[in-house]
Structure 1
Amino acid sequence: EQLKAEQAIAEQEAQAEQVRAEQLKAEQAKAEQEAIAEQAKAEQLKAEQAIAEQEAQAEQAKAEQLKAEQAIAEQEAQAEQVRAEQLKAEQAKAEHKAEKEKAERQAQADEAEAKRLQAEQEKAEQETKADEAKAVLLQAEQAKVEQEAIAE
């Protein structure tokens, strides 16, 4: 009887060990699945970071391009201003010549030239104002792009 009881106890212990082994096996499988999920999440985050870095680089390049365009627009505005000053000087010279001439026909011709130069000057000044406005617009766009790049 005692041997039977000991045998029954041994069988129960063996069954308990079997159950424990199955439980550990299930826990190991769960841990492996969690590790795979964490690895996949890490890979996804790494990919998202790479995309964000590429987008930031693209925004930075766009900001640099807008900065270059702004510099060009400012140079064009300065060139138009110089041209306007030159035309203004030529206009003054033509007006002085018109005043100095005694002959009516010559005076009329010089007056017409002065008006033409004045119109060119006004056109150049308008172009200068337009270029300055374009430079301000490009500067604002650049600032916006830089803020977006910082936000990302």
Structure 2
Amino acid sequence: MKAWAIVTVALLMSGCANHPLDCATGLIAWDDCLPGTKGYVIRQESLKNLAAAEGQKANSDDAECQSFGAQPGTDTYVNCRIQLKKIASDQQTESAAQKQRAAQAFIMNMQQQQNLQNQQTQQTLQNLQQQKPAIQPQINCTSTKFGQTVNTSCH
């Protein structure tokens, strides 16, 4: 138990002021994770990957504009790069909108399925109530007399 407490305190102290456990474990790589924490390492790797992807996109856009005959430094080249950025931005916006529409459609579908199940359950209950036969209890009683006493038993 004592060892567990020491490990917990060490983890809390090894991270950042605002996110000690997240930074120490790398659960969330916050911007302010201190060097030496797992969160810092993960954040730095993420930034390197992002920079590499942006560099590849820039090289691709450069090659595409030059393939159209636009030379770097000219207005045509600058306009080509601007158009490619706009197209990429529009595609991201459309992709986000498509994801949102898909999520909304999924939620609506789930709600419709739930409503259908509720209706089917209600219909089944109504059918069972209509089919339930009226129970008419049959009572048979027998009386026996012993002198002035009468015993009656019913079943």
- The interval holding the TM-score normalised by the smaller chain is 0.3 to 0.5
Q: Greater relative contact order: 1 or 2 (C-alpha under 8 angstroms, separation 6 or more)?
A: 1
| Higher share in strand | 2
Q: Give the alignment's TM-score, normalised by structure 1.
A: 0.41
| Higher share in helix | 1
Q: Give the alignment's TM-score, normalised by structure 2.
A: 0.40
Q: Which has the larger radius of gyration?
A: 1
